[in-house]
Structures are given as structure tokens and as C-alpha cells.
């Protein structure tokens, strides 16, 4: 078995007793991880998710043992997700967001912790994901909500062309957003709810299915990939789409990303690649890569995190970054 980057003492201090919920790459040396305190099913039945302690963890892959991991503890962060802001944003950092009434977001980085930000106070932005595009962080959410972080503590609606609605339904997006550029962006969610932004306004696109949609990927091969119900995949652009894979999974993909000229797909139970018309388990040197969960890609590396472990891949070598030390 490969050796684990994070030493036992740091693992016990930072990760033991917590479950990883999400991961994001600031750069290849700085990984941001959000984790929730482990509680029994009996305890969980008596608690709201906001009652369970959250940690925003930073793992530095270029620092020596004992000095390469730290965390900030937060309360009241229900169903947290993690993202980042990068240059040219004025203060690159990790960000942990909560799906709550105000859209709380806590930044950590640039030598500063906090203060807490609010995406849209008392408006329930329903944040589903944090996505960094050209350095700036976007927050898609329920009811076709999209917000852009334009400054430290400053979020603005990014919804020109999207009509307001008092009756939010499950047919409406958004769960994900991606872009080739600031004048060629896509947002998806709901049941076949696909929108395109041309630099001026959003327009709803035709889509051939009313399946629940999960992710959108503006890939390095120039195509747009949309994933949805059952793990199915569609390929196309704007209002022209064809299904290229019909999945049979009981869960949606968490993340679908482009890396090393391939489409990679991660869910709670699977870690796969698109090869031709088939979605196949990720293999390395004849063996299945033994992890699934949440994934990110940036700066020449791919990282994937399960509830208790983190692995990275630089295109040639897999590396265990975090793994339990079970005596």
C-alpha cells in the first residue's frame, strides 16, 4: 500500500471523528476540505444539521509533517460545501458555504480568517455549489438563483434574463454552473432546466429530457457535457443535445470534470471515466482506484475525497493524502 502523506498525529488532531463533505483546490499546494463531526444515527435524529460542528480544513502538500494541515471550526453551517476564489480576485481563499436562509459563506485565506459573509440575507439563496470560474466564485441555487462574488463580502445576483418566480418548483434549476468564458456560460438543474449566458443575459435552452439534472461541464474538447438522473450523460451545446450514455445508478454524479483529455465522474459510490460511449471505473496499473465521493481539478492535479480519505492524481501518479490510521 502507498504511504499516506498526512502523518498520524495530524490526522488524529484534524480528521479523526469527522466526515469529509467536500473538497476544492486553491492551487496544487493548497487543498480546502469541509468536514462534519461524526455523530451516531441516534444522535443525528435529535439534531438539525446546523447543530453539527463543521471544520474548514486546509491541507498544504508542500509543507513538512506536523506543519501541513490546520482547520477553523464553525457552527450553524447546515449542509456545507467548499469552494475557492483565485486571482485575479483580490483575496484568494477557501470558502465554506451553508445552505441556509442567509447563504452564509466563511472565507479562509490570504492570511485572514472570516468574517462571515452572506450571499443574500433573508432571501434563502438555496446554495447548491460553489464554482470558481476565472478566479471569481459563483453560487448556483434553487429557484434558478445564481450569485457572483464580486468582492470580499460582496455577492451580487447574476441573473439577468432569468424571470423571477414566487413559486419555486423542483422543475427549476440550478445545481451547477460552468463556462468556456464570461460570454459562454451554462447553468443546469431541475428537470431538464438548461440556460446559457452570452455575456449579456441568460436564455433558456431546449433540452430533450425532463430528467433531473446534476452537473454541467464545459470540457477541454470544446463540448458541453450534462449529467442527470441515473448517471446519464448528454453531449452538445445551447439547444442541441444528444444522450451519449444512459445510466442505471440510484444517485446523481456529485462532480463531472475534464482532466488529462478525459471526462471524470464522481458520485458517493462510483469513480469513473468516460471511455468512448462507456462509463467505466477508474483504473491504474490494472487495478481499480479505491475511492469515490467529491472531486476537483485545477493546476495540473485531480483530487477526490471520500468520507474519510483523500487521493490526488497528477496524470501519472496516484497519492494517498489522507487516510485513517486505524490501529
Which of 29, 15, 131, 16 has its CA nearest to residue 71?
15
pLDDT at 165: 67
Task: Report H helices in the chain.
Answer: 8-14, 41-44
End-to-end CA distance of the chain: 16
Q: One digit per residue, pLDDT tens: the chain, 327 residues?
A: 468 999 999 999 999 999 999 999 999 999 999 999 999 888 888 888 888 999 999 999 999 888 899 999 999 999 999 999 999 998 899 999 999 889 999 999 877 889 999 999 988 899 999 999 999 999 999 999 999 999 999 999 999 999 976 667 778 989 999 999 999 999 999 999 999 999 999 999 999 999 999 999 999 999 999 999 999 999 999 999 999 999 888 899 999 999 999 999 999 999 999 998 899 999 999 999 999 999 999 999 999 999 999 999 999 999 999 999 986
pLDDT at 110: 75
Grid coordinates representing 306 are 471520500
pLDDT at 1: 47
Unique residue bearing C-alpha cell 440510484: 250
Domains of the chain: 78-322 (2.130.10.10)
pTM above threshold 0.75: yes
Amino acid at each position: 500500500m502507498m504511504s499516506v502523506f498526512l502523518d498520524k498525529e495530524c490526522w488524529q488532531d484534524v480528521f479523526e471523528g469527522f466526515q469529509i463533505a467536500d473538497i476544492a483546490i486553491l492551487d496544487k499546494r493548497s487543498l480546502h476540505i469541509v468536514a462534519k463531526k461524526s455523530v451516531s444515527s441516534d444522535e443525528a435524529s435529535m439534531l438539525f444539521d446546523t447543530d453539527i460542528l463543521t471544520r474548514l480544513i486546509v491541507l498544504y502538500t508542500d509543507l513538512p509533517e506536523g506543519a501541513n494541515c490546520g482547520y477553523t471550526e464553525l457552527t450553524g453551517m447546515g449542509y456545507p460545501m467548499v469552494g475557492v476564489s483565485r486571482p485575479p480576485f483580490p483575496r484568494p481563499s477557501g470558502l465554506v458555504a451553508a445552505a441556509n436562509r442567509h447563504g452564509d459563506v466563511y472565507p479562509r485565506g490570504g492570511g485572514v480568517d472570516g468574517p462571515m459573509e452572506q450571499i443574500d440575507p433573508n432571501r434563502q439563496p438555496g446554495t447548491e455549489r460553489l464554482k470558481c470560474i476565472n478566479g471569481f466564485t459563483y453560487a448556483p441555487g434553487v429557484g434558478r438563483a445564481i450569485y457572483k462574488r464580486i468582492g470580499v463580502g460582496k455577492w451580487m445576483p447574476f441573473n439577468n434574463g432569468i424571470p423571477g418566480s414566487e413559486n419555486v418548483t423542483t422543475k427549476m434549476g440550478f445545481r451547477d454552473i460552468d463556462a468556456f468564458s464570461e460570454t459562454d456560460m451554462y447553468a443546469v438543474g431541475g428537470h431538464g432546466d438548461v440556460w446559457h449566458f452570452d455575456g449579456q443575459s441568460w436564455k433558456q435552452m431546449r433540452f430533450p429530457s425532463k430528467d433531473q439534472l446534476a452537473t454541467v461541464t464545459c470540457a477541454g474538447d470544446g463540448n458541453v457535457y450534462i449529467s442527470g438522473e441515473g448517471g446519464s450523460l448528454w453531449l452538445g451545446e445551447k439547444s442541441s443535445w444528444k444522450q451519449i450514455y444512459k445510466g442505471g445508478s440510484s444517485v446523481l454524479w456529485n462532480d463531472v470534470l475534464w482532466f488529462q483529455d478525459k471526462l471524470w465522474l464522481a458520485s458517493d459510490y462510483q469513480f469513473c471515466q468516460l471511455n468512448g460511449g462507456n462509463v467505466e471505473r477508474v483504473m491504474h496499473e490494472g487495478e481499480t482506484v479505491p475511492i469515490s465521493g467529491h472531486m476537483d481539478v485545477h493546476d495540473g492535479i485531480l483530487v477526490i475525497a471520500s468520507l474519510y480519505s483523500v487521493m490526488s492524481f497528477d496524470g501519472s501518479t496516484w497519492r494517498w493524502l489522507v487516510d485513517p490510521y486505524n490501529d
